[in-house]
Structure 1
């Protein structure tokens, strides 16, 4: 797995990310520009208040992940499990959910401009007061 944080590649080094109470990782309030994460278990992680620019999540398990109030610009979720996650009050511009499972997801009051959602399961998800243009 290779991580790109602020366009700097990190190989064979370890970055300590604190774990959440539920076993995921706490990325809350970080600015993650150009991060690429593939084939990782990020279930129960916390990205609340994060700024995610040009981020790619590919083949990741993100079950019950919290993105509350995150700012997402040109983000890609590709073939990810997002079931039971919280996207409430996010601000997304040019985001893509491709071939994801996003069942029971909360998109309450989310602003999703130019969102591209394709081949994604959204069964029982909540888009109450969400803005999509």
Structure 2
């Protein structure tokens, strides 16, 4: 892909990750029917729309107000690498500038492989603290 193609794709795809659960129906349209998503929460991967859509709905319902910022876009032959920062409001705390990297491959203009890499430790520790104090 060219940088211009990646920028155009990301300009349309990224806003679907913000705005709450209703965005999931828009987001899934960017993913191939056979797409696979792997991240620290799903090391075995989620496959196909039937597994991806409920995940997108859950994420967007849990984090309706998170805001993504693109740090860099690196085109590859069949996709791109997306470096980002995101502010994540969660149960009374905002995790500022949480960083991650997604490696994307496209097929027929849609995401066929989405591999996300990030350190979820701060959120896990905060959840444990909330449970301990409950």
Query: TM class by shorter-chain length?
Result: under 0.3
User: TM-score, normalized by length of structure 2?
Assistant: 0.23
More helix per residue: 1 or 2? 2
More strand per residue: 1 or 2? 2
Q: Indicate the structure (1 or 2) with the bigger Cα radius of gyration.
A: 2
Greater relative contact order, per chain length (Cα 8 Å cut-off, separation 6+): 2
